[in-house]
Amino acid sequence: MADFNRKPGESFESFLRKFKKGLKNSKRLEKARSTQHLAPKKTKRQQKIYALTSMEMRRKKEILRKTGKLEETQNR
């Protein structure tokens, strides 16, 4: 982890230049930008709830299909 401290008598422009160069070389900004838009992984609890909901919906659709209230669709 890079540490950036301004030296006494150092101009702000030179410190900013040194900071930008150090940040670019440390790849921290690149890593942060690459992970910025990733969706967080689902927890096991969320996965279980999703699976149970899917099973329930599938069961309800199957009942509707068997009673003739839902049209049967062709799968590709």
- 32-57: pLDDT as tens digits: 888 888 888 899 999 999 999 999 99
Percentage of the chain modeled with pLDDT above 90: 46
Global pTM reads 0.44
Q: What is the residue whose two structure tokens read 């099973």? A: 55
Q: Where do the H-state alpha helices sit in the chain? A: 12-26, 28-34, 44-67
72 with 65: CB under 8 angstroms? yes
Q: How many CB atoms lie within 10 A of CB 45?
A: 8
* Higher per-residue pLDDT: 17 or 3: 17
Percentage of the chain modeled with pLDDT above 70: 93
Helical (H) or strand (E) element with 8: none
Q: What is the residue whose two structure tokens read 């999703």? A: 50
